[in-house]
Amino acid sequence: MKYTKMKDWIRKLYLPVGIPLGLIIGIFLGYYFPDFALSLKWLGIFFMKSLKMIIIPLVMLSIMNGIGRIGNLQKLGKKGLFTFIYYTITTAIAVIIGITFTLLLGFGDTKPPLKEQKPKEVQLQITDIFLNMIPSNIFESMANNEVLPVIVFSLLFGWAIALQGKRSEQVFRIFFILEEAIIKIVHLILWFAPIGILGLIASRIAEDGEQFIQELFLLQYYARNVIIGLMIHGLLVLPLIYFIIVRKNPFIYIKQLGIALGTAFSTASSSATLPVTMDCVENKAKIRSETAGFVLPLGATVNMDGTALYESVAAIFIAYVANIPLDFYSMILIFLTSTLAAIGAAGIPEAGLVTMTIVLKAVGLPLEGIALILSIDWFLDRCRTTINVLGDAIGAAIIDKIT
């Protein structure tokens, strides 16, 4: 009797205690014992790979099963519409916060020099965002872990299966079992999360901890504006929207999401975090899987409040360093293109840095600016990914409430 009680206790506390501990020990080891920390890198890669392994089957099954559970295709359309409205409004608010606070706070009086080196060569056009949604070969998209085209295919396929009426029930019955099996694997991977997170953080800090502090000092006002903006959005705006619509304490919900937020911070990838987010939202917060299975995968790739906010602050910062004054028209352009750049960013580490070219090109800012903010991006990426995941999860709760 006593033994089973202890087992339950360990099971309950293992992740909520293990994940913050993994983070703290990771930072400590990375900073004070960098050689040892580097030798732990493989533990992080192991964790990251295990999560990535599960993304595509999980996304496909949860989207198709979502359609199977909803049954009524009109209801699906309603969910889709509300999801779209939620994504658009919250992303726009995030950009407005980024722009407003940056204009209010400014960048102090330090002006780091623009670096000579060229930014990454990849340059995105706005139309690419839409073209990238259509898979030219579904297996290729699956093999490359490209979530958005897989979502488009799964929506179409799920819809086509549902159209078969009664006969589709047989297919969905099998799909439901497969989904449960995949979720079992997610639970298994989660047991490794604290150690994986420790490995990811420790090795990252060991790689350039010293240099990072120097760069952070040089870019402190830019980093401050991004972080303050993210905190206002994540701890004030999103919880307030949740409270107004769901009518529950948002901080209890955020606590239930703790493991997902910790994973988002340590992996810097919304897509890799997706299995964990789905687990927290469905199993801890008890959001219906027909909603979570639809809103979360889509959100992990297109709804990025944190990225949108960061893009706007970064653009204003680059203009400031390059001595380019921004008028009202430029601000509107930054607002629109930051939103698009966030939609276009994949849920992978530092994707926002690549789509940043959309904003810079539209406003006429030097692309070299990207090289300027590159050095501390790995850190800000983790912060914005955490807010991206929070935005998706709050969206799932809201859409579940109103549909």
The rounded distance, in Å, linking the Cα atoms of 3 and 75 is: 47
Identify the CA nearest to 196 among candidates 276, 283, 98, 263: 263
> Taking CB under 6 A as the rule, does residue 385 contact ligand ASP?
yes
Asked if residue 266 binds ligand ASP (CB under 6 A), the reply is no
How far is it, in rounded angstroms, from Cα 190 to Cα 148?
A: 24
Give CA separation, 46 vs 41, 52, 54, 327, in Å: 9, 10, 13, 48
Would you say 270 or 403 has its CB closer to ligand ASP? 270
Q: How many residues does the chain have?
A: 403
Only one of the segments 15-23, 223-231, 268-276, 368-376 lies at the binding site for ligand ASP (rule: CB under 6 A); that segment is: 268-276
| Cβ 378 to ligand ASP shortest distance, Å | 10
Euclidean distance between CA atoms 261 and 387, whole angstroms: 8
| 220/265 Cα distance (integer angstroms) | 20
Confirm or reject binding of residue 223 to ligand ASP (CB under 6 A): no
User: Of the two residues 261 and 345, which places its CB atom closer to ligand ASP in the complex?
Assistant: 345
Contact between 307 and ligand ASP by CB under 6 A: the answer reads yes
User: At its nearest, how many Å lie between ligand ASP and the CB of residue 77?
Assistant: 27
> How many CB atoms sit inside 10 A of residue 373's CB?
25
Quick one: 49 or 173, whose CB is closer to ligand ASP?
49
Q: Pick from 388, 391, 393, 394 the residue near ligand ASP by CB under 6 A.
A: 388
Task: Verify binding: residue 357, ligand ASP, rule CB under 6 A.
Answer: no
C-beta of 211: minimal distance to ligand ASP in Å? Answer: 21
Report the residue number, 198 or 304, with the smaller CB distance to ligand ASP. Answer: 304
349 binds ligand ASP (CB under 6 A): yes
- Residue whose tokens read 């608010």: 93
CB of 110 to ligand ASP, least distance (A): 25
Task: Establish if 350 lies at the interface with ligand ASP (CB under 6 A).
Answer: yes
Q: Does 277 bind ligand ASP (CB under 6 A)?
A: no
Two tokens, residue 65? 């099963």
Exposed/middle/buried for residue 322 (C-beta within 10 Å: 0-12, 13-18, 19+): middle
User: CB of residue 165 vs ligand ASP: minimum separation in angstroms?
Assistant: 38
**Burial readout 42-56 (b: 16 or more C-beta within 10 A, e: otherwise):** ebbebbbebbbebbb
Using CB under 6 A, count the residues that bind ligand ASP.
16
Query: What residue is closest to ligand ASP based on CB?
Result: 352
What lies within 8 Å, CB to CB, of 358 at 6+ separation is 124, 125, 126, 337, 340, 341, 344
Task: Verify binding: residue 347, ligand ASP, rule CB under 6 A.
Answer: yes
**Could you tell me if 236 and 77 are in contact, meaning their C-beta atoms sit under 8 angstroms apart?**
no
- Which C-beta is closer to ligand ASP: that of 201 or that of 348? 348
Q: Which of 138, 162, 153 is nearest to 65 (CA)?
A: 162
Nearer to ligand ASP, 154 or 269 (CB): 269
| Closer by beta carbon to ligand ASP, 59 or else 76 | 59
For residues 62 and 235, give the distance between their C-alpha atoms in angstroms, rounded to a whole number. 29
Q: CA of 266: how far to CAs of 43, 202, 215, 259, 293, in Å?
A: 12, 10, 20, 11, 23
Quick one: 273 or 403, whose CB is closer to ligand ASP? 273
Rule CB under 6 A: say whether 381 interacts with ligand ASP.
Answer: yes
Q: Residue from 269, 291, 303, 339 that binds ligand ASP (CB under 6 A)?
A: 269
Q: Per rule CB under 6 A, is residue 233 in the interface with ligand ASP?
A: no
Please give the DSSP secondary-structure letter assigned to residue 114.
P
Residues that bind ligand ASP (CB under 6 A): 268-270, 304, 307, 345, 347-352, 381, 384-385, 388
